[in-house]
Amino acid sequence: GFVHGVTGVVTKPVTGAMRGGASGLVKGLGKGVLGLVAQPTGGIV
């Protein structure tokens, strides 16, 4: 839950950048921020 959400903020942009360059970095950052909100909320519920 919470730990995956926090680590996703770092890992998703890095993975996105490796796969898709700058646009992948931006997409990964969006996914990481979304996960930061969704993962801990899901862990609480």
What is the predicted pLDDT for the residue at 22?
94
Average pLDDT taken over every residue of the chain: 83
Which pLDDT band holds residue 23 (cuts at 50, 70, 90)? very high
Q: Which residues of 12-45 are buried (b: 16+ CB within 10 A; e: fewer)?
A: bbebbbeeeeeebbebbbebbeebbeebbeeeee
pLDDT one-digit tens code per residue, 2-22: 677 778 888 899 999 999 999
pLDDT over threshold 90, residue 36? no
